[in-house]
A and B are shown apart, each in its own frame.
Chain A
Amino acid sequence: MKKFGIIVLPGSNCDSDCFYAVRDYLEQDAEYVWHEENNLDRYDVLMIPGGFSYGDYLRPGALARFSPAVQNLVKEAEKGKLIIGICNGFQILTELGLLPGALMRNKNLKFICKHVTLKVEKVCAPFTSRLRVGQRISLPIAHKDGNYYASDAVLEELNRNEQILLRYDEDVNGSVQGIAAIISKEGNVLGMMPHPERACDSMLGNTDGMYIFGSVLDYLTKRGQ
């Protein structure tokens, strides 16, 4: 059994979705990690779920990065641990500087909540090995600040290093180059605006989120052998 730690910040609201996705659908160990936790050693994967941490005061993700658990997550990331930031989690990872760029207010200034089609840009362990390049998957988005921005120099680097995993099939929020999911240069940190954890139960009509979590499990299992 692999252990997934789900960081719970004041204002997180997708922590339960992540918990159930890991426990019930991936059938692995899921544990909530309160944001004051100092020791994150025991987890194979750390997840920062969606929500409005600290009320999104100042900027989405801006204040969460000072939580002890998030500070410790940075140390774990530097050691190569797998980190998944979804929605608000992605915003926090950019604020931390673990991922480049920033997430700004959606171009149309609206909160967008719908299923979107995503194009798989890059297939690699540990996050997208169950997919194939060019494949279209559907995942829900629910955000007001998902408009990915990075300078031309950073975009050039993201493309050159093949750090872009998923792009929106059509422009939904103004994200530069349609970027929906990126990984760190080292490849162990994933940030994505769409919610894979909300698309794991067939009863809800979509299980495409399992491509992501399944890829993570494949990677961990293979590594553990």
Chain B
Amino acid sequence: MKSHVVWGASNMAHANVYVTLKKDILDPQGEAVKNALHTLGYKNVMDVRVGKYIVLTLENNSENDINAVVEEISKKVLSNPVIEDFSFDIVED
């Protein structure tokens, strides 16, 4: 039987997608934040990387392989593979 989405009901999942600049790419925003933290006295902060956090709410049924879909979306749209890496976790409601 085909399942139907009801908002707020339990057949939803959330994907938390994290996009950051690749490790070997200079992150000027991160550098600026790090310098600000040093100015404030937090000398033990060695590195700061600024990235994006994107939350997707998805229909969760057996017909969709949520992992594969989120992987594809992250690769195709949410990140630019030339300069960025991504990771994600999925929380089922």
Contact = CB atoms under 8 A, between A and B. Distances in A.
B31 to A, nearest CB: 9
A109 B82 contact: no
A95 B80 contact: yes
Contacts of B77: 58, 62
Contacts, number: 32
Interface of A: 58-59, 62, 94-95, 100-102, 104-109, 149-151, 174
B36 interface: no
Contacts of A106: 28
A94 B82 contact: yes
A62 B77 CA distance: 7
A58 B78 contact: yes
A109 B32 contact: yes
Contacts of A108: 28
A62 B21 CA distance: 15
Contacts of A151: 82
A149 B82 contact: yes
A79 to B, nearest CB: 24
Interface of B: 21, 25-26, 28-29, 32, 52, 77-78, 80, 82-83
A74 to B, nearest CB: 15
A176 to B, nearest CB: 10
Nearest to B83: A102
Given A104-B25, A149-B25, A59 B32 contact: no
A101 B81 CA distance: 10
B28 A101 contact: no
A109 B80 contact: no
Contacts of A107: 26, 28
Contact of A104 (B32, B52, B78, B83): B83
B28 A109 contact: yes
Contact of B29 (A58, A105, A150): A105
Question: Which among B32, B52, B80 has the greatest number of chain A C-beta atoms within 10 A?
Answer: B80
Q: What 9 A-B pairs have minimum CB-CB distances, sorted nearest first?
A: A102-B82, A102-B83, A109-B28, A107-B28, A102-B80, A59-B80, A149-B83, A105-B28, A104-B83
Contacts of B29: 105, 109
A71 to B, nearest CB: 14
A175 to B, nearest CB: 12
Contacts of B25: 104, 149
A19 B28 CA distance: 35
Contact of B80 (A62, A105, A150, A174): A62
A106 B31 CA distance: 13
Contacts of B32: 109
B33 to A, nearest CB: 11
